[in-house]
Amino acid sequence: MKNIVKFVGIVLATALVAVGMSSCKQDPYKYVVTDGQPVIKYITTTEASAADSLITGAATEAVICIVGENLTSVKEVYFNDLKAILSSSFITYNTMLVQVPASIPGEVTNKIYFKAKNGETVTFPFEVEVPGPTVTGTVCEYVLPGKQGVLQGNYFVDDPNVPLEVVMPDGQAAKVVSFTQTSLTYEVPAGSTASGKIMVKTIYGSCESNFNFNDKTNILFDWDADEASLTTPYGKANGWQPATAHIGVTDDVEPIDGKYIYFTGDLSAGPGAVWDEGPWSFTFWPGDNWGTVYPNLQENTEFAAILASHKWDELKLKFEVCVPKASPWAAQGLGIYFTPKSYVDGTNQNNGYYADAAFPRAWYMPWKDSGSFDTGGEWITVIIPMTEFKYNHEGNAVGGIDETYFDGMSMFLWNGGVQGKDCHAFVAVDNIRVVP
């Protein structure tokens, strides 16, 4: 039986010295390039727990120890048709530490090629094992039938005998439009609107996505219902700036899931230069508002169950965003606030927390580095860990939130402490949710 040892992840140089070199016999003399041909005796793992284990194969990105003689004569090493990176710091006369290339070989020979200084090549049998696929993210978790989605991950491989497959949550096969080793574009089949995991299959294995397609988990605001309730998502914001005039569907942005909220108008370049809650904010304050009682967010049945089974700082805020190319966003950050009822509710309506230098919030400012941002009219999914809710109105770090903050919620395009550019922006938001 072949002794194939899998190692995934890149081993740091310090670990190589501390762990890897301990598993190989070392020559104490300074590295000097030698003449002649190398002699390969065997290959072993760099794992301290298996230092004496000889191996005949390893996974991509594994670090291995080659043992032999005259290894200082080696100038280049190839695994199949892929060149490895060599460092003289990890080569002695008798040993060589090298990492198996991360890319998938185009031509598989199951050999390592050692090219010496004298031009000769020595081969040694060794199998590079390609891992199964992994899906670690997506551009957008919501994609309409007939539209194209993008999966991000690794080891997307096609094979004539076992084609690359994408299977939707409802079991339908999606068309693979294009792919690289780390990115895959697929087309959602007709009628495929179910929520759940996407599966990717290759000749080397299969995996499920690390997200839910058309994610319905704990949606707090989807803008589709008319009123808030404990059994359905909160239909609209509730406060003195509910932004109900900006909820619906426009010609600027095609919806992905019913109605959406949108903020639009002129934004000034200076951080916090203009305070205009009307077109640029929404608020949801629980409690008695003019005779209607609105429940706390965390009283939502699904949210309560998530908080009971997960630590609050393990959770993430997710929502979809769309910014048309014709109306790019280039100023003012989108401040996102979870508000405790003890601070603001229906009977204590106030907006003081926006400018409170001690009140924690998160910032979404995708234009910050590039100077301008748009999504080309396509929807993207934004993910913000709860641990990022720790900044004040000028973007300075303050104490973070805790589980008591999940009563109300607000968004306000104002400030953030970063200089922008005057712009006429259109920012659409949908499906605000808190998930594990």
**Segment 131-178, tens digit of pLDDT:** 999 999 999 999 999 999 999 999 999 999 999 999 999 999 999 999
- Report the distance separating Cα 139 and Cα 307, nearest Å: 27
Q: Is 351 exposed, middle or buried (0-12, 13-18, 19+ CB in 10 A)?
A: middle
Residue 132: DSSP 8-state: P
**Residues in Cβ contact with 417 at an 8 Å cutoff, skipping those fewer than 6 apart:** 271, 333, 393, 394, 395, 396
3-state SS assignment for residue 427: strand
| Whole-number pLDDT of residue 227 | 62
| Whole-number pLDDT of residue 235 | 54
Collect the ranges in the chain with pLDDT lower than 70. Answer: 1-30, 49-52, 226-238, 241-245, 290
In degrees, to the nearest 5, what angle opens at C-alpha 433 toward C-alphas 248 and 198? 100
Closest CA to 377 of 330, 435, 428: 428
**CB burial string 272-288: b at 16+ within 10 A, e below:** beeebbebbbbbbbbbe
| Whole-number pLDDT of residue 243 | 53
